[in-house]
Amino acid sequence: MQWDDARIFLAVSREGSFSSAAKRLGVQHSTISRRIRALEKKLAASLIVRKASGYVLTEAGKELEDSALRIEKELISFEGAIWEHSDDAAGELCVTAILNMASTVLMPYFARFSSAHPKIQLNVQVTNDSVRLSEREADIAIRQTNTPGETLIGTRLTTIASTVYGSCGYCAAVRSGEAAEKWIGVDCCDNHRTWTKQARPQADHEFYVDETSLTLAALKEGLGVGFLPCFLGDSDPDLERFREPESQHELGLWLLYHRDLRNTKRVTLFREHMKHEIEAAKPLFEGRLAVAG
């Protein structure tokens, strides 16, 4: 039995379906199905059965899951130990961040890190979904949250302020009574969805978006007002604040990583680099740039 077989099996047991496991691993659904069936044939045991509620593990499947988890933990621990004892800052470093940050304010920081450490292959992945650092789906996650996972360790880099923005023309028209106040329905994340519902409980939205870049584009078109992080809203000359930031809309910006990687050269270099970059740009993240200007 090969580790790759166990890795695929673990993906199915964690995700609960072949299609979700295929998406997580970046392969075809048929590949997952074929590999699981081949593994069952090799072991002469049924591992997964399909019921009305979904896929469930057999007794043999549960035993294999326990063994595979132990092996995975040992491999992750071994890799972390190898990295920690290496003085050479080289190899791959996988970093995940949400789209609205990775493609805008963070990209220059990533570029400068790559220039300073050309032997480190920086692999930036964009996802708004949770990333299982404990399973090494990534080495580092940059996340906006006030409740980082208890099983992870990390560094709180700064505070992300958010508030309500609109186009300059639209905001002026609303304040003068020439236009009605309209809110864009935002469904990009739990925070913006909740804040929008609190600010506009009647939910009489004429326009909905499900990603922050779309919120930005809709605001610039004068389709209403809506929440944006200040590092995006204050940086766009076509937008202005419809309301001032409130502390209840603040989130911590965290750099999170697996505890087995905390002393590795690549992670240490990246952590210190990001702390330095973001410290210099704190007014932008904390919503103080517009006030200072």
**Residue 89: exposure state from Cβ atoms within 10 A (0-12, 13-18, ≥19):** middle
Query: Which pair of structure tokens corresponds to residue 209?
Result: 């978006």
Look at residue 274 and tell me whether its pLDDT is greater than 80: yes
pLDDT classification of 218: cutoffs 50, 70, 90: very high
Helix and strand counts by DSSP (H, E) for the chain? 13, 12
Which CATH code is given to the segment(s) 162-249?
3.40.190.10
E-strand spans in 19-112? 48-51, 54-57, 91-97
**149/225 Cα distance (integer angstroms):** 32
* pLDDT tens-digit series, residues 5-64: 888 888 888 888 888 888 878 788 889 989 999 999 998 999 988 887 778 899 998 999
Residue 232's contacts (CB-CB under 8 Å, 6 or more residues apart) are 100, 104, 105, 212, 216
Q: Output the pLDDT for position 270.
A: 94
Distances (CA, A) of 222 to 169, 172, 215, 218, 240: 7, 11, 11, 7, 12
Q: Output the pLDDT for position 186.
A: 87
Locate the domains of the chain by residue range.
Answer: 3-84, 91-160+250-292, 162-249
Q: Output the pLDDT for position 293.
A: 37
Per-residue pLDDT, averaged over 98-106, amounts to 90
CATH 1.10.10.10 fits 3-84, yes or no: yes
pTM of structure: 0.70
Query: Which pair of structure tokens corresponds to residue 251?
Result: 């989130």
Compute the C-alpha angle 65/20/7, nearest 5°: 35
Percentage of the chain exceeding pLDDT 70: 89
Q: Output the pLDDT for position 226.
A: 95
Q: Output the pLDDT for position 291.
A: 47
Q: Identical fold at 3-84 and 162-249?
A: no
Choice between 82 and 161, residue whose per-residue pLDDT is larger = 161
Asked if residue 48 lies in contact with residue 12, where contact means CB atoms within 8 angstroms, the answer is: yes
Percentage of the chain exceeding pLDDT 90: 48
CATH 3.40.50.300 fits 91-160+250-292, yes or no: no
